[in-house]
Amino acid sequence: MAELGAHESKLYSDLAPLYDKTFAKFFYSRERTVIQDLNLPSGAQILEVGVGTGTSFPAYPRDCHVVGIDMAPKMLSHAQEKIAKNGWRHLEVREMDALNLTFTDDAFDYVMAFHVVSVVPDPVRMMAEMRRVCRPGGTIVVVNHFTSESRVWGTITRSLDPITRRLGWSTNLKLKPFLEETAFTGSKHYRYSRFSLYTVVVGTNDKE
């Protein structure tokens, strides 16, 4: 079986309702905590890359404007249903490729990517696009699972990579090389607990 792009995977399209009932419940508490910790100012312009079904939507303050983009129409359909059902006027979704964002340079104050960089075929290019559309001095946020530096756990997660790639994501993304390749080494990165599988990366967009 050939590798699938994220938007082609059954997990990210045909199984969108199942995604909401399983992964959404698992991801939301982390996304909510990250968003709350940012203390988003009133009027902030925010882009969320790979928004999926909009699991993070309830966490965003209503005095901000948030655009969520994704390549999976069925996922976006569920996100749009949430927007309509809750009357969220501060949120909107668009179908768009994270590797080729159609926004102008410096369009957003904050650019988020929750559980996405190991899904896209070229995470370095995605980060370059995120930094391009984020204004100088703006904030870039990435939350993702990165391959463990432990020899044992790293070997285990890397061994799963051929399988997970067929489903639409990779388990072979290392944090340090990712930060170096994306020129995002000035960021801070942390986990909310020593047992967490996910790393939070936050940094200022220091482009010239």
Q: pLDDT tens-digit profile of 43-79?
A: 999 999 999 899 999 999 999 999 999 988 888 999 9
Q: Two tokens at 175?
A: 């944090």
- Contact indicator for 7, 15 with CB cutoff of 8 Å: no
Instruction: Report residue 186's pLDDT band, with 50, 70 and 90 as the boundaries.
Output: confident
- Contact indicator for 140, 202 with CB cutoff of 8 Å: yes
Biggest CA–CA distance in the chain, Å, is 48
Q: pLDDT tens-digit profile of 145-184?
A: 776 555 544 444 554 444 444 444 445 577 888 889 988 8
pLDDT at 96 over 90: yes
Q: pLDDT tens-digit profile of 97-115?
A: 999 999 999 999 999 999 8
Residue 2 neighbours by CB under 8 Å, 6+ apart? none
